[in-house]
Amino acid sequence: MSEEKALDELEKELWQRAANNEGSIRADAYVGLSRIAFEKSKIKESLALCETAREIFESLGKSEYQSEIFEVSVGISKNYGELRLAGKAAEALGEAIEAAEIIGIEEIDDLYRDQGRYFFDAGEYENSIACHKRAIESTEQYFRDESLGIDYFNIGMGLYELGRYEESIDAYLKSRQGYVADKEIANVADCDYRICGNYAKLENAVQIEYYGRRALDFFTMMNDYRKIWNLKYYFGIAAKSLGELEKAGELFEEARNLAQAMGWQEWEFFIRVDKEIAYLCEVNGMSDQASEILRRIASVEEIVNVAVVHEAA
């Protein structure tokens, strides 16, 4: 019997079990059916089955079915994740974590990390940071292998999005130490790259050059052009902050040309770099050229804003 046919037979059996039984037996059948639906990429069906199973377990008494509620809540979270509903995925994982704390699951730090990632994707950066801090605490509590590189890296990302650049730098430095200890060289370089990006926001030319050059050496070796052109942009910010406007213009143009040559359609990057080029044009008395660049940027931003509103609706 083929694997697909065996799965179909199991699905029929589980539907019969769900129809002919009540209580936990029916709920278990729905859990099995949800897994089959997930394997078949029927995500909405899998989600509905998981939610129905959880409702049954909760109606039977949370205290008696914590393990089952934990498992099914993790399943609900995964389904919401597949549907790109990060906020709901984080919420469902929160219910799983609540049950995990009661049961005493030692791997709860991994659950907090996953919840932190979902919160980040949902734009809930404060909650994401809190989750990764709880992950660090849980790792220490259960004497599990440290994941300081991952946790502080994600904390740094959240702090950056909140505009708390100094704190973000501190988090990335801690992440860097963790990755150095684990000999994860690519992640060490990524920390240098992110630290450089924070210093670009602060327009700290010395630190941009220090961390940026270390990152550039690695990513040039690896031909990671996306990071290379961003670093060129950061170097342009450093030159601009030092009053070296001609050098800044050359770096901005180099960053822009590299991104275009590689065929990447990163309109957010082009808007950032074009605003800097427009500023330099204005400073150099090229007002007409600056106005044309800013007009083009405004047109693109208007299209983007309309697209975002339409998607949200």
Measured distance CA(169)–CA(171) in Å, rounded = 5
pLDDT band at 150 (very low <50, low <70, confident <90, very high): very high
CATH topology of domain 1-145: 1.25.40
pLDDT of 310 higher than 50: no
Q: CB neighbours (10 Å) of residue 234?
A: 26
User: Helix, strand, coil: what percent of the chain each, to 5?
Assistant: 85, 0, 15
pLDDT of 309 higher than 70: no
Bigger pLDDT: 208 vs 283: 208
Is residue 215 within 8 A of residue 240, CB to CB? The reply is no
Structure tokens at 130: 């809190």
pLDDT of 313 higher than 90: no
Bigger pLDDT: 304 vs 241: 241
- Tell me the average pLDDT across 63-76: 95
pLDDT band at 32 (very low <50, low <70, confident <90, very high): very high
Q: Name the residue type at position 247.
A: K
DSSP-derived secondary structure letter, 252? H
What predicted TM-score, i.e. pTM, was given to this entire model? 0.88
pLDDT band at 250 (very low <50, low <70, confident <90, very high): very high
In this prediction, residue 255 carries a pLDDT of 94
In this prediction, residue 141 carries a pLDDT of 82
Measured distance CA(79)–CA(43) in Å, rounded = 6
In this prediction, residue 132 carries a pLDDT of 96
pLDDT band at 134 (very low <50, low <70, confident <90, very high): very high
In this prediction, residue 62 carries a pLDDT of 83
pLDDT of 8 higher than 90: no
Q: What is the mean pLDDT of the chain?
A: 92
